[in-house]
């Protein structure tokens, strides 16, 4: 019988040693917690047990019995607040493109959760750059696009995980798309919407119909007898939009141009919604209206291409200008129609930092501010006692292009590590996932598939 190579057994040992009840200490020369009592930028240690943060210790003293990791910089796991990773795949062919159901302008009933592919290698790819949480949203084609979901990018035995094991919120928001894309998809078929005004009408009608639907259910639920013969019929589209009206799900309006953002704010005011504006390429041109509406912004990629009327006024300073105006803001990478399909939030944040946002505000926009906007700050976004142990280690300033992510932990488990991550420190090393190629070697470990680089 052929014997398995030694490195397979070493990998199994490494994975197993971090999988069950492990106590981990992550020491940073510059620790940025983005919350809590620790002074960001000073040395500190994050103590982890059973996937949760149990304490933050000042200085660099490691308690006895903890497995030690050390790095120049340590931050919370990064949060990409809106992208299509996992439902839009790396091959860019129909077989792995599930972000847009281009059969109906109103697809409020579809869920990104039902398209999410846990084994999509782009999920693993962005994890290697420190992105540990993502809000995955339907694409840009439909005025009422469908329901977004929030996932962790990785966990133990990641190639065997299901969407249920990775999900944080199966339904986090309903996405409404404004601007050019719905017009392009349906206008060329001589179907509505062919104009911006019809796009707004489709969204408005969906909201009005959902109000009527919810009223019927409220009246039936308040009735004494609850006569089953008079019970309203379920409608999944209307039910989904009704969750937005009740506040159970967020309303995300994707808009690039100033006039489209204004339409989103108009619709939100009409239906008493607290809107979240995504992309917002020209957000800096409508700052006063955004501020007075109490909208939050998921700022689109800093390095967005200027390739249409919608993006011709893009600026590297958009995020900084919006934050300067006091508008709640987080960063997103969005959907790309070309390979490699997804931008890297770490790079986008670095460019935003260099163009007015600054280091600490850029880090917050990629961590705790995103967690707060998404309503998941009780679990992620900062390094604080009781939160999920999503931690990223770097060999230098995270926003410097020459720096590297050396180790990523999700829920206290190693999901990525470079071969030089530990340096001279006594800590565990596991086979690293290559982030420089989307063609890593594959193999079988006890009948289970894994990815490794050599």
Mean pLDDT in order along the chain per 10 residues (454 residues)? 46 45 92 92 97 95 92 98 95 93 98 96 94 98 98 75 95 98 96 98 98 95 82 95 97 98 98 97 98 97 90 97 98 86 94 98 98 98 98 98 96 88 45 39 32 29
* C-alpha to C-alpha distance for 258 and 262, rounded to whole angstroms: 6
Cis before 340? omega within 30: yes
Architecture field, domain 79-374: Alpha-Beta Barrel (3.20)
Instruction: List the alpha helices (DSSP H) in 99-229.
Output: 121-127, 163-166, 180-187, 196-222
Question: In the 8-state DSSP scheme, what is residue 132?
Answer: E
HSE value, Cβ hemisphere, 13 Å, CA-based, for 399 = 19
- Angle, helix 258-270 to helix 196-222, in steps of 10 degrees: 20
| 391-394 and 67-76 beta bridge pairing | antiparallel
CB of 418 within 8 A of CB of 404? yes
Region of residue 284 (left: phi > 0; alpha: psi -120 to 50; beta: else): alpha
Residue with tokens 């929030």: 150
Q: Measuring CA to CA, how many Å separate 157 from each of 22, 410, 415?
A: 16, 12, 9
Superfamily of domain 6-77+382-452: Urease, subunit C, domain 1 (2.30.40.10)
Instruction: Provide the pLDDT for residue 431.
Output: 37
For 221, other C-beta atoms within 10 Å of its C-beta total: 10
pLDDT value of position 156 = 53
Query: Given this chain, do its domains 6-77+382-452 and 79-374 carry the same CATH topology?
Result: no
How far apart (Å, rounded) are the C-alpha atoms in residues 46 and 31?
9
Give CA–CA dist 219/2, Å, rounded. Answer: 70
Rounded-to-integer distance, Cα 94 and Cα 89, Å: 9
Q: What is the DSSP string of 239-289?
A: HHHHHHHHTSSEEEEEE-SHHHHHHHHHHHHHTT---EEEE-TTGGGGHHH
Residue 273 CA to residue 265 CA, distance in Å, equals 9
What single-letter DSSP state applies at residue 443? Answer: E
Report strand pairing: 52-58 vs 67-76: unpaired
Q: Judge contact between 86 and 121, C-beta under 8 A.
A: no
| Strands 441-445 and 448-452, bridge-based pairing | antiparallel
Q: Indicate the domain borders of the chain.
A: 6-77+382-452, 79-374
Residue 50: HSE in the Cβ half-sphere, 13 Å Cα cutoff: 3
Residue 289 contacts by C-beta under 8 Å, 6 or more apart in sequence? 261, 262, 265
Q: What is the DSSP letter of 56?
A: E
- Shortest CA distance to 147 belongs to which of 176, 111, 197? 111
> What is the distance between the alpha carbons of residues 360 and 373, in angstroms, rounded to a whole number?
18
Kind plus residue range of the DSSP H or E element containing 347: helix 345-352
pLDDT of the residue at 158: 64
Which pair of tokens denotes residue 224? Answer: 């004494």
User: In the chain, what is the straight-line distance between the N-terminal and C-terminal CA atoms, in Å?
Assistant: 25
Is the Cβ–Cβ distance between 301 and 334 less than 8 Å?
A: yes
Distances (CA, A) of 25 to 29, 151, 214, 255, 409: 13, 25, 50, 43, 12
The CB-side HSE value for 397 (13 A sphere, CA atoms) comes to 14
How many CB atoms within 10 Å of residue 157? 15
- Of the candidates 410, 409, 411, 407, the residue with the CA atom closest to the CA atom of residue 432: 407
Q: What pairs with residue 88 in β-bridges?
A: 85, 97
311: left (phi over 0), alpha (psi -120 to 50) or beta: alpha
């Amino acid at each position: 019988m052929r014997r398995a190579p030694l490195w397979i057994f070493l990998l199994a040992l490494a994975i197993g040693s971090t999988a069950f009840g492990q106590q981990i200490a992550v020491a940073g020369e510059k620790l940025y917690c983005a919350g809590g009592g620790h002074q960001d930028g000073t040395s500190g240690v994050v103590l982890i047990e059973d996937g949760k943060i149990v304490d933050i210790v000042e200085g660099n003293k490691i308690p006895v019995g903890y497995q030690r990791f050390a790095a120049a910089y340590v931050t919370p796991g990064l949060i990409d607040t809106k992208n299509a990773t996992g439902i839009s795949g790396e091959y860019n062919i129909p077989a792995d493109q599930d972000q847009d159901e281009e059969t109906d302008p109103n697809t409020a009933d579809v869920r990104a959760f039902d398209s999410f592919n846990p084994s999509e290698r782009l999920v693993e790819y962005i994890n290697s750059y420190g992105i540990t949480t993502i809000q995955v949203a339907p694409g840009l084609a439909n005025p009422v696009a469908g329901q977004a979901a929030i996932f962790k990018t990785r966990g133990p035995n990641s190639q065997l995980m299901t969407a249920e094991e990775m999900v944080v919120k199966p339904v986090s928001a309903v996405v409404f798309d404004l601007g050019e894309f719905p017009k392009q998809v349906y206008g060329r078929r001589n179907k509505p919407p062919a104009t911006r005004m019809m796009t707004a009408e489709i969204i408005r009608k969906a909201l009005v119909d959902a109000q009527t639907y919810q009223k019927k259910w409220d009246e039936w639920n308040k009735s004494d007898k609850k006569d089953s013969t008079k019970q309203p019929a379920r409608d999944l589209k209307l039910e989904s939009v009704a969750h937005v009206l009740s506040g159970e799900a967020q309303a995300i309006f994707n808009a690039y141009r100033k006039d489209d953002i204004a339409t989103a704010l108009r619709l939100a005011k009409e239906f008493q919604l607290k809107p979240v504006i995504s992309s917002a390429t020209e957000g800096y041109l409508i700052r006063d209206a955004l501020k007075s509406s109490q909208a939050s912004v998921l700022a689109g990629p800093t390095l967005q291409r200027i390739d249409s009327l919608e993006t011709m006024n893009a600026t590297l300073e958009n995020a900084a200008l919006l934050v300067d105006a006091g508008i709640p803001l987080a960063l997103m990478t969005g959907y790309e129609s070309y390979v490699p399909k997804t931008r890297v939030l770490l790079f986008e944040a670095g460019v935003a930092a260099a163009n007015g946002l600054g280091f600490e505000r850029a880090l917050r926009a990629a961590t705790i501010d995103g967690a707060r906007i998404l309503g998941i700050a009780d679990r992620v976004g900062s390094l604080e006692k009781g939160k999920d142990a999503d931690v990223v280690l770097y060999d230098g300033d995270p926003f410097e292009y020459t720096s590297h992510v050396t180790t990523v932990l999700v829920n206290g488990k190693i999901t990525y590590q470079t071969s030089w991550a530990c340096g001279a420190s006594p800590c565990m090393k596991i086979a690293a996932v290559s982030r420089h190629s989307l063609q890593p070697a594959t193999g079988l470990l006890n009948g289970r598939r894994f990815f490794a680089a050599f």
